[in-house]
A and B are shown apart, each in its own frame.
Chain A
Amino acid sequence: MDERLEKALDFSNYMLTLNTQKRLLAEKYQESLIYFYSGSQFTITRELITFVSVMVSADQDEVVLVDDNNIPCLVHDLDNFYGEILNQYASASNTYHTAYVNLKKNRSIEKLVDYD
């Protein structure tokens, strides 16, 4: 095989694996953003955080939020709810960032999939 083509195919395989690993990391990140409160399931988004923040700023103690399954949920302790989703969002995002940066450092398929 032509050496130029061989190198291109090697790189192509590497990129394929890198992109797959990036996608799997993103999916794991989405899973780690799921927050459970009083039997309801919320995926933490910047929109949710902002809305809850506005409600807290407006001195609201409780609010009805619609969860991932379209079930309304009355959140009683809004301050605590806000703190918890903010913490979980920050923690999940930091973990995602660290894993992403580490992934990008790997320059071979073996290292990308951590294969001995």
Chain B
Amino acid sequence: MTKGVFLIAKNNGFIDYVKQAVFLARRIKNHLGMPVTIATDSVDYLTDTFGTKDFDKIIPLEYSKGTNTRYFFDGSLSKKTANFKNSNRASVYDLSPYDETLLMDTDYIISNDLLKSCFESKSNLMLYRQSDDIAKVREEDEFEFISNTSVEFYWATVVYFRKTQTNKVFFDLIKHIEDEWNHYRRVYQITSSLFRNDFAFSIAIHIMNGFQNGNFVQDLPGSMMYTIDKDVLWQLNGDDMMFLVEKKDYLGEYTALKTSGQSIHVMNKISLNRIIDKEFADD
């Protein structure tokens, strides 16, 4: 059985996801000791700038401009609108060269080996259901259910799957939901028209469970810790990270906090890229 980690990086002219993928691939090798495959629409940029040594395989994706736009915050007082290309995530089932795959967002900063245990698990499909905002000063309801009147929220940030017939049906269903997004978002009472992979995965899980809550997927070990893009990643030193997290009710003011040996989903991609630049410059 072949095992590995799969990353998708599609640059949008504002955020360098390829750079994030290179940075993450190095951390994955350190902490999980697994081969890493990247699927990207910027193969030439990747090979010319960073080389190929960090990846087991490089899979080219067709370039697309992307139609989704959103704000990218860098702390609570700075933001910019840009494209983000989050389509075709479900194609990872067909693209992955591994029998067992750990799919990861490039802004998930691995700092321990907890996810290694997935590959020994009895479960064929695992995602994070539980999550923790490290700041704990904001409402976390939006990560409990996909809308106030809808189904349970699952994170598509980290997904472990084995290639099984059932999982093939699951990923094909996600592709279908993406193709018919406007229909499904209305059925599942999502007010925003913006396509989100978390929502598509959550809806597919609900359908695969027989349109109810169930155990079609199991939880990944631990809970997914995250900071939103209103927080700032300030310092990284090995597995220690220091964040400035938004202070409740005080716009533009922050509280410092430090994590040690904890993997974190860092949604402020701008501050993450600043830190990666510093790390690469130090190497």
Chain A residues within CB distance 8 Å of chain B: 13, 16-17, 20-21, 23-24, 27-28, 30-31, 34, 36, 39-41, 68-71, 109, 112-115
B221–A24 CB distance below 8 A: no
Whether the pair B262, A23 counts as a contact (CB closer than 8 A) is: no
Known interface pairs A27-B132, A115-B235; A36-B261 also in contact (CB < 8 Å): no
Q: List 6 A-B contacts (CB under 8 A).
A: A16-B255, A27-B262, A69-B123, A71-B123, A71-B218, A114-B242
Residues of A close to B215: CB separation below 8 A: 69-70
A114 and B225 within 8 A (CB): no
Given contacts A20-B257, A27-B132, A34-B114, is CB(A113)–CB(B262) below 8 Å?
A: no
| Docked-complex contact A69 and B218, CB < 8 angstroms | yes
Q: How far is the CB of A43 from chain B (nearest CB, A)?
A: 9
Question: Does A24 contact B235, Cβ atoms closer than 8 Å?
Answer: no
Q: Given the known inter-chain contacts A31-B222, A109-B256, A114-B258, please indicate yes or no for A23 contacting B136, CB distance below 8 A.
A: yes
Bound complex: CA A40 to CA B135 (Å): 31
A24 touching B259 by the CB < 8 A rule?
yes
B residues in contact (CB < 8 Å) with A: 112, 114, 117, 120-123, 132, 134-136, 215, 218-219, 221-223, 225, 235, 240, 242, 245, 247, 255-262
Contact of B257 (CB < 8 Å), options: A24, A34, A36: A24
A23 to B, closest residue via Cβ: B136
Residues of A within 8 A of B235 (CB): 115
Q: Are A21 and B258 in contact (CB under 8 A)?
A: yes
Beyond A13-B255, A24-B259, A70-B215, whether A41 also contacts B221 by CB under 8 A is yes
A11 to B120, CA, bound (A): 47
Question: Contact at B114–A31, with CB atoms within 8 Å?
Answer: yes
Please give 12 more A-B residue pairs, beta carbons under 8 A apart, in addition to A17-B256, A40-B122, A113-B258: A16-B247, A20-B255, A24-B134, A31-B222, A34-B114, A34-B221, A34-B222, A39-B120, A68-B219, A112-B258, A113-B256, A115-B242
Query: In the assembled complex, which residues on chain B have CB atoms less than 8 Å from the CB atom of A71?
Result: 122-123, 218
Known: A28-B260, A113-B257. A39 touches B121 (CB 8 A): yes
Cβ of B123: which chain A residues have Cβ within 8 Å of it?
39, 69, 71
For B136, the closest partner residue in chain A by CB is A23
Residues of A within 8 A of B112 (CB): 31
In the complex, the chain A residue whose C-beta lies closest to that of B260 is A28
Q: What A residues does B242 contact at CB under 8 A? A: 113-115
Q: Which B-chain residue is minimally distant from A110 (CB atoms)? A: B256
Separation of A41 and B121 alpha carbons in the complex (Å): 8
Residues of B within 8 A of A17 (CB): 255-257
Residue in B closest to A40 when the chains form the complex, CB atoms: B122
CA separation between A17 and B222, bound complex, in Å? Answer: 23
Q: A17-B256, A21-B257, A24-B257 are in contact. Are A31 and B262 (CB under 8 A)?
A: yes
Residues of A within 8 A of B257 (CB): 17, 20-21, 24, 113
**What's the Cα separation between A80 and B90 when bound, in Å?**
41
Chain B residues whose CB sits within 8 angstroms of the CB of A30 once the complex forms: 222
CB distance from B258 to the nearest CB of A (A): 4
Contact across chains for B256 and A115 when beta carbons are under 8 A apart: yes
Give the docked Cα–Cα distance between A115 and B218 (Å): 38
Q: Which residue in chain B gives the minimum CB-CB distance to A20?
A: B257
How close is B7's CB to chain A, nearest CB, in angstroms? Answer: 23
Tell me which residues across on chain B come within 8 A of A40, comparing CB atoms.
121-122
B209 CB to nearest chain A CB (Å): 14
Closest-by-CB residue of A relative to B263 is: A31
The answer on a CB contact under 8 Å between A39 and B122 is yes
B268 to chain A, nearest CB (A): 17
Give the distance in Å from the alpha carbon of A30 to the alpha carbon of B219 in the complex: 15
